[in-house]
Amino acid sequence: MPVLNIIRFVFLLSLAFAANYPAIAQQLKLSADSLPIALDRYWRFKSGDDPNYARPEFNDSTWQRFSSVNRMSAAEREVYQGKGWFRAHFEADTSLVGKVLAFTIQFDGAFDLYLDGKLIYRFGTIEAGKATRYENPKLTPLAFQLDRAGKHVLAIRVEEYPVYNNYFLGLDIDLSSYQKSLIDFYSEGILITFINVFVGVIFLTLGLIHLFFFLYYRSILANLVFSVFMISVAAIMALLQIMLLTDNPGDYEQLSLISSLITPVSMLSFSLFIHFTFHEKTRVWIYTTAAITLVYYLTEIFEWFEESEEMLMIGVFLVFVHALIRIIVSLIRKQPGTWIIGIGTAFTVVSILSFLLVGIFGTIEANTETTLGQIALFGLALAIVSIPLSMSVYQAWGFAQLNKNLQKQLVQVQELSAQTIRQELEKQQILENQKQELEIKVDERTRQLKDEKQKSDDLLLNILPAEVAEELKQKGAAEAKLIEEVTVIFTDFKGFTQMAEVLSPQALVRDIHECFSAFDRIMEKYGIEKIKTIGDAYMAASGLPTPNGEHAIAAVKAALEMVEFIETGKALKIEKGLPYFEIRVGVHSGPVVAGIVGIKKFAYDIWGDTVNTAARMESSGDIGRVNISEATYALVHSHFQCSYRGEVDAKGKGKVSMYFVNP
């Protein structure tokens, strides 16, 4: 478990800098101001098992005193031997009475937690004559309350999971407010998960990329071994995340074993990567790494001795020393591209040193509670991935250089071959080449004419309806037509002049373009013909040039979507403190005359009282509402909920019945 131990050590070191726990006084006196506090000292311990040990009045003066329960000395470990009872006495003042407090405990084993003789929490089971069931709370906040001030007794009956007696020593227990413990528990869990996933995804992605590089060009073995290294590290990060989620020490042990078996694979593949990347002539480092890996696996299988983990740690150390030496030598020799790896290595060294210095001197607390603390921890994750990331970039750079050189050589061969052929066939192909050149020019000119015709047709269709455009192309003119049933939409922006005064011309045009482009898409969606825009006004007609029995329904739907788009944009502008548009929309149904006028810059337009009435519907409406005439209401009232406004005085029209369409 060397890799997992290293990662856990670095993370615990960062939390140690962040915790900032006050020292415990000679007499353990607790108040609200003393929290959070680490309950690691001033415990008494006794082996054996007696229910009376939980009683607050029990005399424990003869019990063994422990200087620390989470980092025991060798002598204390001999007394402890993984099971027994711990007792601690503390005095609480009135500021803690009735306050929701919480213990956070990290312990691989089983335990019963008693406060003043009352069992308040149990994790796992410890029963005489039966197999112990182990369970780790993993710093889950264990809430409780003190019902009185004064002296209290905390008693813990423990049995440690036996495999971890030589790794994570003892009992880690802290006391804090429940709210802070809960926040710390989730924030740290989320951050650790993010770092595990972030690092794991980067390693897995780079591993797969270099595996594809190798499959594409198999002569570069460095890509293969590097992909094995990256994928194996990604697997270790995945195991680490699973271990974070499991509360069963047995499962944790199995996952740790799997990780310890993957670690030599990553170590050996990394050593091979360095060898192939820097074209080493000697294989002594590979042989050394392979020998350590083989002995480690045999030791794990046959359980020859207990120091196999230390041996693997030595192997990991040698692999990184090997890599560092090769990088330094290559930088001194100015080997092309080595500066890429040098930058990644320098970033890692500077980041870790800065992280440790910041933690030691306390300029910035590296924790999960502040933005700077989270940046510091995230920087640690970046430092972890910077070296493999830089090596991946180096490999990609080398692959690109090789591909570039091959392409240059291929171009040179092709040019030489083409030159030879041209010299042999030059005289015979002169006439043929001239003929081909002429045919090419004719074809090219023909394509140009077709392209220009297509552009003209597309432009004409963008200006005119398809039927009108086809009539114009065939006859050279288009007749105006009376269309009996059409619904006209007319919109206008409120306060456009005021916005033009506060916005730059570019910003004003940009906002109008954004709105009108959205309106165009809405018209296209409902098969409505856009007629024209005049300044900030927008006019469209539904049911022409081809009559449509549902022209009014389509027009009202489009009008509602136009209002919705403007209101959405208004909300976003308000959030950003920017000027915004507001819109009035008017809709009226009736007959119109439609056709083309003029001979230059001609446009499809409509005329008639229906257009004027639609404009009056807009000017007589309200901001953010669709105002429709009685004629339109008669066509759509069975499809939309409408509010009758009564007869409204419209300019030039007198009293006109109007309705608001409810969204």
Token pair 């083309």: residue: 596
Which one-letter amino acid corresponds to residue 520?
D
Reported as a pLDDT band with limits 50, 70 and 90, residue 468 is low
Q: Check pLDDT > 70 for residue 639.
A: yes
- When comparing pLDDT for 357 and 15, which is higher? 357
Q: What is the pLDDT of residue 457?
A: 57
Determine the straight-line distance between the first and last CA of the chain, rounded to whole angstroms: 64
Q: How far apart are CA 330 and CA 114, in angstroms?
A: 62
Reported as a pLDDT band with limits 50, 70 and 90, residue 19 is very low
Q: What residues have CB less than 8 Å from 543, skipping those under 6 apart?
A: 483, 485, 486, 487, 551, 552
- When comparing pLDDT for 169 and 284, which is higher? 284
Lowest mean pLDDT among 309-318, 350-359, 391-400, 635-644: 350-359
Q: Check pLDDT > 90 for residue 597.
A: no
Q: How far apart are CA 240 and CA 243, in angstroms?
A: 5
Under a CB-based contact definition with an 8 Å cutoff, are residues 131 and 99 in contact?
no
3-state SS, 410-423, equals: HHHHHHHHHHHHHH
Which one-letter amino acid corresponds to residue 206?
L
Average pLDDT of span 397-408: 72
Sign of CA dihedral 193, 196, 199, 201: negative
Q: Mind listing the pLDDT tens digit for each residue in 124-162?
A: 888 877 878 888 888 889 999 999 999 999 999 999 887
Reported as a pLDDT band with limits 50, 70 and 90, residue 402 is low
Cα–Cα distances (Å) from 86 to 72, 265, 555, in that order, read: 13, 42, 80
Average pLDDT of span 278-283: 70
| Helix, strand or coil, per DSSP, at residue 351 | helix
Q: What residues have CB less than 8 Å from 612, skipping those under 6 apart?
A: 652, 653
Q: Give the DSSP letter of residue 97.
A: B
Q: Is 98 left (phi over 0), alpha (psi -120 to 50) or beta?
A: left
Length of the chain equals 663
Q: What is the pLDDT of residue 9?
A: 40
Token pair 């969204």: residue: 663
Under a CB-based contact definition with an 8 Å cutoff, are residues 573 and 521 in contact?
no
Token pair 């552009």: residue: 455
Record the tokens describing residue 489, joined without a space. 């939409």
Cα–Cα distances (Å) from 68 to 76, 173, 643, in that order, read: 9, 11, 78
Q: What is the pLDDT of residue 641?
A: 94
Q: How far apart are CA 655 and CA 100, in angstroms?
A: 71
Cα–Cα distances (Å) from 400 to 211, 217, 271, 277, 405, in that order, read: 15, 11, 23, 14, 9
Reported as a pLDDT band with limits 50, 70 and 90, residue 23 is very low
State the pairing for strand pair 83-92/118-123: unpaired
Bridge partners, 492 (sequence order):
584
Q: What is the pLDDT of residue 451?
A: 65
Record the tokens describing residue 600, joined without a space. 């230059």
Q: What is the mean pLDDT of the chain?
A: 79
Under a CB-based contact definition with an 8 Å cutoff, are residues 18 and 184 in contact?
no
Which one-letter amino acid corresponds to residue 557?
K
Helix (H) or strand (E) holding 196: helix 178-216
Q: What is the pLDDT of residue 459?
A: 55
Q: What is the pLDDT of residue 489?
A: 96
Helix (H) or strand (E) holding 111: strand 109-115
Q: What is the pLDDT of residue 66?
A: 86
Reported as a pLDDT band with limits 50, 70 and 90, residue 166 is very low
- When comparing pLDDT for 266 and 392, which is higher? 266
Q: How far apart are CA 660 and CA 641, in angstroms?
A: 9
Residue ranges of domains in the chain, CATH in brackets: 20-181 (2.60.120.260), 186-401 (1.20.1070), 475-661 (3.30.70.1230)
Q: How far apart are CA 553 and CA 489, in angstroms?
A: 12
For 603, phi then psi, to 5°, come to: -145, 150
Give the angle 253-255-259 at the CA atoms, nearest 5°. 115
Neighbours of 187 (CB within 10 A): 15
Q: Mind listing the pLDDT tens digit for each residue in 244-267?
A: 888 888 888 788 778 877 878 877
Q: What is the pLDDT of residue 471?
A: 62
Lowest mean pLDDT among 24-28, 178-182, 225-229, 253-257: 24-28
Token pair 């406060």: residue: 115
Under a CB-based contact definition with an 8 Å cutoff, are residues 621 and 586 in contact?
yes
Lowest mean pLDDT among 111-120, 169-178, 352-361, 554-563: 352-361
Token pair 């015709």: residue: 453
Q: What is the pLDDT of residue 160?
A: 87
Reported as a pLDDT band with limits 50, 70 and 90, residue 595 is confident
Edge to edge, the sheet with strand 37-38 lists 37-38, 172-177, 100-106, 142-145
Q: Mind listing the pLDDT tens digit for each residue in 49-90?
A: 888 999 999 999 899 988 888 878 878 888 888 889 999 999
Please state, for a pLDDT cut of 70, what percent of the chain lies above it.
Answer: 75
Q: What is the pLDDT of residue 376?
A: 62
Buried b (16+ CB within 10 A) or exposed e, 265-300: bbbbbbbbbbbbbbeeeeeebbeebbebbebbeebb
Q: What residues have CB less than 8 Å from 625, skipping those under 6 apart?
A: 563, 584, 585, 660, 661
Q: How far apart are CA 578 and CA 555, in angstroms?
A: 30
Helix (H) or strand (E) holding 505: helix 505-525
Average pLDDT of span 438-453: 73
- Of the candidates 33, 70, 264, 268, which has an alpha carbon nearest to the alpha carbon of residue 156? 70
Q: Which of the residue ranges 116-130, 263-277, 293-307 has the most confident prediction, judged by mean pLDDT?
A: 116-130
Q: What is the pLDDT of residue 502?
A: 82
- Tell me, rounded to whole angstroms, the distance of Cα 265 from its chain centroid: 30
Token pair 């230059």: residue: 600
Q: What is the pLDDT of residue 15?
A: 41
Average pLDDT of span 394-410: 72
Is residue 515 classed exposed, middle or buried when 0-12, 13-18 and 19+ CB atoms within 10 A define those classes? buried
Q: How far apart are CA 210 and CA 85, in angstroms?
A: 54
Q: What is the pLDDT of residue 448?
A: 74
Q: How far apart are CA 632 and CA 189, in angstroms?
A: 61
Give the angle 176-180-185 at the CA atoms, nearest 5°. 100
Under a CB-based contact definition with an 8 Å cutoff, are residues 83 and 47 in contact?
yes
Q: How far apart are CA 582 and CA 571, in angstroms?
A: 11
Reported as a pLDDT band with limits 50, 70 and 90, residue 542 is very high
* Most distant pair of Cα atoms in the chain: their distance: 118
Token pair 């090789």: residue: 402
Neighbours of 72 (CB within 10 A): 18
Q: How far apart are CA 482 and CA 190, in angstroms?
A: 69
Q: How far apart are CA 520 and CA 529, in angstroms?
A: 9
Q: Check pLDDT > 50 for residue 432.
A: yes
